[in-house]
Structure formats: structure tokens, C-alpha cells
A and B are shown apart, each in its own frame.
Chain A
Amino acid sequence: MEGILFLAFLFLIAGVIAVPVASRLGLGSVLGYLLAGIAIGPLLRQLEVDVVSIQHFAEFGVVMMLFLVGLELEPRMLWRMRNRLLGLGGLQVGLTTLAFMGAAMAMGQSWSIALAVGMVLALSSTAIVLQTLNEKGLMKGDGGQSSFSVLLFQDIAVIPMLAFIPLLALPELAELLQQSAGDGGGHGGGHSWIDDLAGWQRGLVTLGAIVGVVVGGSFLTRPVFRFIAMARLRELFTAFALCLVVGIALLMTVVGLSPALGTFLAGVVLANSEYRHELESDIEPFKGLLLGLFFITVGAAINFDLLSADAGSIMAMALGLMAIKALILWILATLFKIRGADRWLVTLGLAQAGEFGFVLLAFSVSSAVIPQDLAAQLLLVVTISMLLTPVLFILYDRVIAPRYATSQAREPDAIDESGSIIVAGVGRFGGVINRILLAAGHKTVVLDHHAEHLERLRAFGIKVFYGDATRPDLLHAAGIEHAKMLVVAIDDREQATQLVHYVAHNYPQVYMVARAVDRHHVYELYSAGARDIIRDHFDSAVRAARSALEALGMHPHDAERQTHGFVENDRKAIRELAELYDPDIPVHENPAYVERTKQFLASHEEAMRGSSAVFGDRDARSWAHPTLEDLEAIEAENASNKS
């Protein structure tokens, strides 16, 4: 028990420390986890922890990830991807396998070993690539979609590979294995009852399983969800969502299909379901944690003894591996007319070997196809290539994407209209702004890097452009120098601040309306140069409070004035504090800010208790009639005037 707790704590703390640091440095979470794994690797080895079996467990995160990807993908979109999936994916796996087979044979391996090595190295890392693409919001672009197609094909290809590898068994290795009675990984390739069935029966069972997932997903989940909802327990939803994913994975394993493929299929089926977001939010944390654990184990499993003994050749093999994969990807991407930065995204993003390579390696060793020492070397090569992948993504982000930025904006989204108002971000917030501006007869240029927002708007005939509004070149293309106004409505707070800062300093004539996510963001935007700053949840919260007051029996007009008083007071406080705010000092170390905040809080509290003059005051004064004493004074005055 203690051991498990300690292990869990070790993994968690390593991730919690490393990932924020890596994100801060712009390295992405994957590299953070990998580094965390490298850091705790020696400790794990000393404790004799079986990292590989933890890794097998954590691979379930990939299954969950594919389920989530499926949820985001409607069947229609999947159908549209079929050419890329089979063509690009199939060619990538086939050509890469052959290339590495050739390379291995050239290095003196027998053809059977070489073929197995080729298959191992042809697969890329679904975990790293999808996680990174999602994190960077690249999933919806052409590059992201193509990468996904290839990865999906690879995940499907693993199954026939697992079936094929035992046929390559070398007699002498098999003898060796039998002597040592090693069991190997046996992951996913275990024999099941289905192997005893005849071919047609097997086909029927497999087909039945897929039909079951599709039909069950379409018709059964809704009543089941409703049934579960009756219990009104949040965790039951989570339990059911997990049960669903685990169950499908199990079913697929039993009938000999890829669990990742099965859950992906289930995700696609459920993509139109009204419970989609519920499922997403339930599975998401588990996926995140398992993938994190998986990346940590990859880092931790690096055998530094072996690496340092043979550093030169292993590094050379890893780099060679990536170069060959990248070359094949680049050629295929060109062939499939993937353009510009997207071509580079596919080329660099998929150039590593991946976690399915681990699975195949373990299985090849246990099937007496690849000798143990070669497998150990290959394991290192695969790991190193995975470790280098985040670096390639950084290269893409910093060097390649900016270079293609303008050309990418030109095709397919040439910004052919220069409106006088640029709206950056048309999600729930910017969308409303845009609609109101359009309704008032203004021309807007809309920028957003969420393809789904854009598609929705396009469906309604609204002109929008795909692109990251924080990129100077895209702003330029959108006509920032001739714009009257910029509406900053993007979700990401740091990007919003950067954008405001950039425009305030380079185009001071542009009026900016900026969306703030919270109070401190208001100050950040203020010091970045924005003056018209709207907190995105503030007004709705005020309205909700007003509704609450009305429901509690307060007269609507009083509720209006009460909440308005609060707004005025809060706005005054925020304006004063914005002047005191210094972006370079954390607020709690800014004495003037702290002092003033304390004053505001104190007066607020008094007002809440109804004992003060802050915002109760104006209300107490309004429409209050004179007292009887006042009346007597008036009348006395009138009487004396008369006499």
C-alpha cells in the first residue's frame, strides 16, 4: 500500500513540477512529462519499479484519447478523410516499413528481423502527436487532419502486424526463449478463444462487434444515460463513461481488433449525441493523467547505461530514423497536395517512432523474431526519437509556421476584404460582438483560429478568416493599419494581452475593445495599453445576481439599482487599482495596491452589511421622502415667508 502511494506521489509530483515549468518555457506538456520521467528514472530503477508494465497500463490513455478524438469527429468528416486515411496512411506505413527493412538488411540483419524492425519503426507516436496538436490548436487544420489520418491508419495497422510477426519467428531464438521460459510483453497479441473459430466465424464475430458498437452507441447510450441521470450523482456519469470506454476496448481485444480503433469508432458514433460534452469532460482527466503517466514512463525507461555505452551509434540511428521518416512523409505530403506549413507539420510531427513500436518490440522479442540485445537498442532509438519530437514541434512553431504565415493566410483564406473593424476571436464572446456590429451595418474582418467557429459562421454566410490574430503578419493582412477598431475577444489571456500590447504600440490610432477574463487581466490589459476593457463574465454574473435578488422578493427596480450600485463601485475600484497595478510586480508585493484594495474591501463589506455609504447610499437617498421633521421645517418656513 505504502509502495503504491509513494509511487503515485512520485509520478504526480514529478509531473506537477515539470509540466508547468516546461509550459512556461514554451516546450509543451509532453516534453515536460518526458523530462519528469528522466528525472525520476534513476530513483525508480533503484526501487526496482517495473516501469514497462506501468507503461502498458498507461497506454490505455491512447485508447481514451482516440475515443475523445472520435467524439470530435462526425461520421461525415471521417468519410471525407477516407482518401487520406487509406492513401496517405497506407503509403506511409508501407514505404517506411520497406525503407527501414532495407536499411536493416544493409546493416547485415536477416530479412525477417529487418522486416520486423521496419514495422516497429514505421509507427509514429499517437500519444505525443495528438496531445501536442490538440494543445497547440493545430488539430483542425489540414496538417493536423492529415497527421491524424496517418496515425489512425497506423493504429489500425498494428493489429495485422501483431498477427504477422509470429510468422517471422527464428527457430534458434525460439529455442532460446523456450529455455529461459520468458514470457515477454504479450501485449494485445495474446491468443483468445476467437483463434479457435473458423475464418468465416471469426469474420462474423468481428463484424458483429463493430455493428454492436455502432448500433449500441446510436440507440442504447441515450436511454442508459437517462437512467443514470435519474440517480443525480455526478460520479455515476464518470463511472459509466469509463465503463463504456473500457468495455469497448475489452470487446475489441477479445475479437482481436484494435481497442483504440474500437473506442475511436464509438466516439464517432457518439459525436452527434447530446451527451457528447458530458462524456468528453468525464474522460478527459483520465486521458490526461494516463498519457502523462505514459510520457513519464517513456522518460524513465531510458537505459542510460546502454545509451552511454553506445551513445554515438544510437544517436545516429535515432537521427537517421527521423530523417528517413521525415523524408518519406515530406514526399507523401507533397504527393497528396498538402501545402506550406501544413506539409512541414506532417513531416516533422510524425517523424518519430512511437509507443506502438514498444508494443511490437516486446511482442517481437517474445515471438522470437528480434533478439533481445537488438530490441534494447531499438527501444532506446524509439525513445530518443520520441524525446526529440517536442523539439521538432518547437522548431515548427518558432521557425517554420511564422515563415509560412502570410502565404498560409493567402491560401485558402486570402483576406480580400478590409473592413474598418477587426474582430479577433468569434467564439461565444466575440460572436455576439460581431453580430451586433454587423446588425448595425458595420463591416468587420473576423479572425479566429478555431476552425469549428469559422465553419459555423460560414454556414450562416458570415465572412471569417482562419488564423491566429496574435500574429503580426495576419493582423497586417487583415488591414490593421487602416482599421478603426480592434475587438480583442480571444480566449487566451496572455495572447490577448500580447495582442493589445502590440497594437497599442504599433497602431496607436486603432481603438481597442478588449475582453478580460478576470480582474487581474483587466490590469494587465490596461498596462498593455487597452482602455476599453470588458470582463467577460462580470455582466452576466451581475445579471444573475439581479435575478437572484428579484427571486428573493426584491422589487425589480430596486434590484436593478442595487446591482448597478455594485457595478459602479466595482468599476471605480478597478479603475483606481489599474493605475496602481504594475505588471512587473506581483500584486501582493505592491504596497500601494494592497493598501487600496484593503480600503475597498472594507468599504464593500460595510456596504454589504448595510451600514455604509458606499453603494447603499445612493439607493437610500433615491425617492426617499422628507421626514415629518423636515415637513414641519418647510411649513414653518412657508409661514414665516407669508408673514
Chain B
Amino acid sequence: MAQLLVYYAHPGHRHSEANRAMLDKAREVSGITLVDLYAEYPRFQINIDREQSRLLEHEVILFQFPMFWYSTPALVKEWEDLVLEHGFAYGHDGDRLSGKTMMLAITAGGADEAYSASGYQRYPMRTFLTPLEQTAVLCHMTFATPYVLYGALRAQANDQVEPHAAGYARLLQALRDGRYDFAAAKELDVVTAPDLDQLIEA
């Protein structure tokens, strides 16, 4: 059983800078399961059985996507609606995901200061992520602190993409090998590339 399952979802893959660089790095990490959701389900016909058995086979489930309108790309929502069935993920007898960890690796267009009461996004990032967090909780999963790239649209110009993507690869390796300190990460609202040094055990 592989430890780590990564779902990548980006409908505009070819326009992407940050997510694409992250995906390229992720592909180089061995021993993990990497699923490009839009490549696998370009017509939104999600195979529920296949997805549920993928979930059962992994301990850490990580979704990598760009934030669109304070939420996930549409296919991730479709995936949630179909795969996280009553009786499987939640509700009566719905405890099959119990004890697993759900984590997000997201990119946001706005700069980090925008995500605050005084910023133009008016709320902190974690507030926008509460639907996903609660989804994890309802499915008896632990919601790990998300790995975030702020200002993703400027990241290329500011030379932030490369370090973020490299950090992403280290993160995936650490998750794969069980060297990631979830407890320490829990103290943080979000994890960014510079935080990784203190969260990954050598």
C-alpha cells in the first residue's frame, strides 16, 4: 500500500505556471500515486469504484489545485459529490476513510496580505477553506495544514515558482516516508516553502 495519493486538478493546465511546475516536480517523486483528474476524467465521468479503492489504498490524500472563486476547480467538486458517498465516507457506517489525512496544496492569485481582515479578500485563507476542512472532519479524516503559494500570478516574475515547486517535491517525499511533522504544522495557519525546513525531519 502506497502511503501518499496526490490528486492534481487544473482545467487550464496549459496556461498554468506554478501548478505546472509543481506537477513536473511531483512526477519525479517515486513511490507515490499521482492522478491528473482532468486527464483521467476530461468528460467528468468519474469512476466512483476506482476512486474509492484509491482512497482505501492510501493513508494521506493530497489535492493540488489552483483556488478558483474561493473554491476548488469544478471537477474536484464533482469528485467530492460522487466519491465521498454516504455509507462510505460519512453517515451511517460511513467510516472507511477514518484515520486518514487530507491535505491541500493550493495556489492563490492574491498576495498573502490580501487574505486578512484589512486585505481586499477580507478573510484569512483558512476561512475560505473551511468547507473542505469540514468535509475532512465529517469523513473522519484529519485535515492537515495546507501548503500554499500566495501571489501565484506574480510568482514567476518574483522567482517564487521554482522554490515553491522544489519545496513541494520535498513535502511529497516527506509525506511518503512519514518524515513530515503534522503536529508542528498544525501550529501554522498555512505552510509555505520556507516553513518546510522545520517540518521535515532529516
Which A residues touch B15, using CB under 8 A?
Answer: 623-625
CB distance from B64 to the nearest CB of A (A): 15
CB distance from A411 to the nearest CB of B (A): 47
CB of B43 within 8 A of CB of A560, answer yes
Nearest chain B residue, comparing its CB with the CB of A624: B15
A622-B42 contact in complex given A631-B153, A631-B154, C-beta closer than 8 Å: no
Asked whether A628 is an interface residue with its Cβ less than 8 Å from the other chain, the reply is yes
CB distance from A560 to the nearest CB of B (A): 4
Contact string against B for A residues 622-643, beta-carbon threshold 8 Å, 1 for contact and 0 otherwise: 1111101001000000100110
A622-B154 contact in complex given A555-B39, A556-B42, A560-B42, C-beta closer than 8 Å: no
CB of A622 within 8 A of CB of B12, answer yes
CB of B12 within 8 A of CB of A624, answer yes
Which A residues touch B153, using CB under 8 A?
Answer: 625-626, 628, 631
Task: Indicate the size class of the contact surface on chain A.
Answer: 10 to 19
Which B residues touch A539, using CB under 8 A?
Answer: none
CA distance A356 to B168 in the complex (A): 85
CB of A623 within 8 A of CB of B38, answer no
CA distance A555 to B12 in the complex (A): 10
CB of B120 within 8 A of CB of A638, answer yes
Contact string against A for B residues 22-46, beta-carbon threshold 8 Å, 1 for contact and 0 otherwise: 0000000000000010111011000
CA distance A625 to B10 in the complex (A): 12
Nearest chain B residue, comparing its CB with the CB of A632: B154
Which B residues touch A638, using CB under 8 A?
Answer: 120
CB distance from B158 to the nearest CB of A (A): 11
Which A residues touch B11, using CB under 8 A?
Answer: 557, 622-623
Asked whether A175 is an interface residue with its Cβ less than 8 Å from the other chain, the reply is no
Which A residues touch B109, using CB under 8 A?
Answer: 625-626, 631
CA distance A622 to B38 in the complex (A): 14
Asked whether B13 is an interface residue with its Cβ less than 8 Å from the other chain, the reply is yes
Which A599-641 residues sit within 8 Å CB-CB of chain B?
622-626, 628, 631, 638, 641
CB of B39 within 8 A of CB of A557, answer yes
Indicate the member of A556, A557, A558, A638 with the most B CB atoms within 10 Å.
A557
A558-B154 contact in complex given A625-B109, A638-B120, C-beta closer than 8 Å: no
Asked whether B202 is an interface residue with its Cβ less than 8 Å from the other chain, the reply is no
Which A residues touch B12, using CB under 8 A?
Answer: 622-625
Which B65-109 residues sit within 8 Å CB-CB of chain A?
109
Asked whether A119 is an interface residue with its Cβ less than 8 Å from the other chain, the reply is no
Asked whether B50 is an interface residue with its Cβ less than 8 Å from the other chain, the reply is no
Asked whether B157 is an interface residue with its Cβ less than 8 Å from the other chain, the reply is yes
Which B residues touch A624, using CB under 8 A?
Answer: 12, 15
Asked whether A63 is an interface residue with its Cβ less than 8 Å from the other chain, the reply is no
Asked whether A559 is an interface residue with its Cβ less than 8 Å from the other chain, the reply is yes
One of A560, A623, A628, A642 near B154 (C-beta < 8 A): A628
CB of A555 within 8 A of CB of B14, answer yes
CB of B42 within 8 A of CB of A559, answer yes
CA distance A560 to B39 in the complex (A): 10
CB distance from B70 to the nearest CB of A (A): 15
Which A residues touch B120, using CB under 8 A?
Answer: 638, 641-642
CB of B14 within 8 A of CB of A558, answer yes
CA distance A70 to B10 in the complex (A): 58
CA distance A559 to B14 in the complex (A): 11
CB of A558 within 8 A of CB of B13, answer yes
CA distance A622 to B10 in the complex (A): 11
CB of B154 within 8 A of CB of A557, answer no
CA distance A625 to B157 in the complex (A): 14
CB distance from A366 to the nearest CB of B (A): 74
One of A557, A625, A628, A641 near B38 (C-beta < 8 A): A557
CA distance A622 to B13 in the complex (A): 11
CA distance A622 to B15 in the complex (A): 9
CA distance A136 to B13 in the complex (A): 55
CB distance from A632 to the nearest CB of B (A): 10
A557-B157 contact in complex given A625-B109, A638-B120, C-beta closer than 8 Å: no
CB of B154 within 8 A of CB of A556, answer no
CA distance A560 to B43 in the complex (A): 7
CB distance from B16 to the nearest CB of A (A): 8
CB distance from A139 to the nearest CB of B (A): 43
Which B residues touch A641, using CB under 8 A?
Answer: 120
CA distance A558 to B42 in the complex (A): 8
Which A residues touch B42, using CB under 8 A?
Answer: 556-557, 559-560
CA distance A642 to B120 in the complex (A): 9
Nearest chain A residue, comparing its CB with the CB of B39: A556
Nearest chain A residue, comparing its CB with the CB of B119: A638
CA distance A638 to B109 in the complex (A): 15
CB distance from A567 to the nearest CB of B (A): 13
CA distance A622 to B40 in the complex (A): 19
Contact string against A for B residues 107-144, beta-carbon threshold 8 Å, 1 for contact and 0 otherwise: 00100000000001000000000000000000000000
Indicate the member of B11, B36, B38, B42 with the most A CB atoms within 10 Å.
B42
Which B residues touch A631, using CB under 8 A?
Answer: 109, 153-154
CA distance A166 to B154 in the complex (A): 103
Which A residues touch B14, using CB under 8 A?
Answer: 555, 558
Which B residues touch A555, using CB under 8 A?
Answer: 13-14, 36, 38-39
Which B residues touch A622, using CB under 8 A?
Answer: 11-12
CA distance A622 to B14 in the complex (A): 11
Nearest chain B residue, comparing its CB with the CB of A625: B153
CB distance from A566 to the nearest CB of B (A): 15
CA distance A559 to B42 in the complex (A): 9
Indicate the member of A625, A638, A642 with the most B CB atoms within 10 Å.
A625
CA distance A612 to B36 in the complex (A): 30
Which B residues touch A628, using CB under 8 A?
Answer: 153-154, 157
CA distance A638 to B39 in the complex (A): 37
CA distance A506 to B13 in the complex (A): 53
CA distance A628 to B10 in the complex (A): 20
Top 6 closest pairs, chain A to chain B, by CB: A623-B12, A557-B38, A560-B42, A556-B42, A557-B42, A638-B120
A sample of 22 cross-chain residue pairs with beta-carbon separation below 8 angstroms, ordered by A number, consists of A555-B13, A555-B14, A556-B38, A556-B40, A556-B42, A557-B13, A557-B42, A558-B13, A622-B12, A623-B10, A623-B11, A623-B12, A624-B15, A625-B15, A625-B153, A626-B153, A628-B153, A628-B154, A628-B157, A631-B154, A641-B120, A642-B120
Q: Please give the residue numbers on chain A whose beta carbons come within 8 Å of chain B beta carbons, in ascending order.
A: 555-560, 622-626, 628, 631, 638, 641-642
Q: A556-B40, A622-B11, A626-B109 are in contact. List 11 more A-B contacts (CB 8 A).
A: A556-B42, A557-B38, A560-B42, A623-B11, A623-B12, A624-B15, A626-B153, A628-B153, A628-B154, A638-B120, A642-B120
